[in-house]
Amino acid sequence: MTKLTFIDLFCGIGGFHQALIKINKDNKCILASDICPKAKAVYQDNYGDDIPFNDNIKYITQLEFKKKDTELQQIQELSPDEYKKALTKNINTHIKGKLDVICGGFPCQPFSNGGQKGAFLDPRGTLFYDIIEIANVKKPKFMFLENVKHIKKVSNGDVYKAILNTLKETGYKVFVNIISPHQLGVPQQRERVIFSCIRNDIYHKALVKNNGLKNIQLEGEFPLDIQPDIKIDFTKIIDKVTSEELEKYKISEELENVLNCWNKAVEFVDDKEKLSPTILAENLKTNYFQLDDEGNIAFNTDKEPIVKNEYLTEWNSFPTWKKDYVLKNKTIYNTYKSKWDKWLKDNDKLLKKKKIYSKLEWQTGPKKKNDTIWNYFIQIRQSGIRVKKAKYFPTLVAIVQTPIYGKEKRYITPRECARLQSFPDSFKLPEKDQVAYKQFGNAVNVDVVYTVMKKVLDTFN
């Protein structure tokens, strides 16, 4: 395969870099860029400090960025043509020579379902256009860009359409795949959108050769030929930790007590019982609703529960999702009322130590025979305690919410996080675990981007 030069934008610890050198060990990174100094340190430790590194993409794409007053005045006096010429020179100064590939997971926070979804109103959202500035000057053969699945829904799909249209106007044929590591045998469900952009002349040259891609439309998926029955293999992820490591990564005594407390609740409900998707302990006992003649919650003609007058103010202050949970909680509370009341009384102080302790998100389906919270993966999130099926690890995120391996009552190790993101065991980890957890949570999965890039490059290069 042809040796390619590439730039690694918003590079983090180099998921795209790993994938490109896996495709061809002679592929060469001619520039990496990331605003996080800790990510830069890990990147250079693994790929060498001889790779030119830029702390901020805007040093490349905006002449006025961090200029002195006198220099800024000179820039403002340039005509549009002069500014364009000066910007082109600046980009070529930072990115020397031929550029074959631009890759990058541009910041996902403005588009994430877990963020504010500010899109292009968020300064981080506009960084997509900095990629376009570089592409307009360097005209790489390919671009591979990654973001969260939710980017397709932000602003009713307008943001997604704007991205596709901009890539098209820049001179590229665009394919879009949504792919998750679990589709490739990695036990993590983490769907991401991959934009594969092929420069128009290269795409049309392939059409002339009649390579079978004639019928693929602009917004079509690139055919990846992923087999639907790939086996999920946990053994490739989980370490046999030493006693010292077990002690190091063991959850705190307080957290173990909290989880044991919730486990008692799991134990006293019957098998096949559906623990409401989310149980809010602080609201379980409060009797918010009026009852009908049969003792059930009364509903009005709009099918909304009728709330007692003394609770109306509190009820109306709840967001819609909380109202839904409180209402659903009433069924399971009334079924085991005496047991819940004793449980709440016995564990009141413990559950109130932290707000998150009083909320359980049970995502494992109906209770099974001899079920226990320790059979599953657990994650302590800002929204509460989440218990997930042992089929997949909880999704790694940049915010440190390290998954707990229930069977060993410990957090997964940084090396296990690296494997979940498909980094090889030869990858040098950061010295501090908290840094490692955050960096791997923020990384692109190597196997995901490798799968897409390899197929595209094999086809067109």
**Cα torsion angle, 86, 90, 93, 97, sign:** negative
Query: Which helix H or strand E contains 31, and what residues bound it?
Result: strand 28-33
**Cα torsion angle, 403, 407, 410, 413, sign:** negative
Q: Is the pLDDT of residue 44 over 60?
A: yes
Listed in sequence order, the residues at least 6 apart from 81 whose beta carbon sits closer than 8 Å to its beta carbon are: none
Q: Give the tens place of pLDDT for each residue, 108-158.
A: 554 444 444 444 444 444 788 899 999 999 999 999 999 988 888 887 888
Angle at 179 between CA 174 and CA 181, to 5 degrees: 145
Domains of the chain: 5-228+445-460 (3.40.50.150), 240-412 (no CATH)
What secondary structure does DSSP assign to 390-434, as a single string?
TTSBPPP-SS----EEGGGTEEPPHHHHHHHTT--TTSPPPSSHH
CA distance 153 to 117: 10
> To the nearest whole number, what is the mean pLDDT of the chain?
88
Whether the model clears a pTM of 0.95, i.e. scores above it, the answer is no
- In angstroms, the Cα distances linking 448 to 23, 61, 178, 182, 235 are 13, 29, 10, 9, 19
Q: Give the tens place of pLDDT for each residue, 230-274.
A: 888 787 898 888 899 899 999 999 999 999 999 999 999 999 998
CA distance 111 to 178: 15
Share of the chain above pLDDT 90, in %: 64
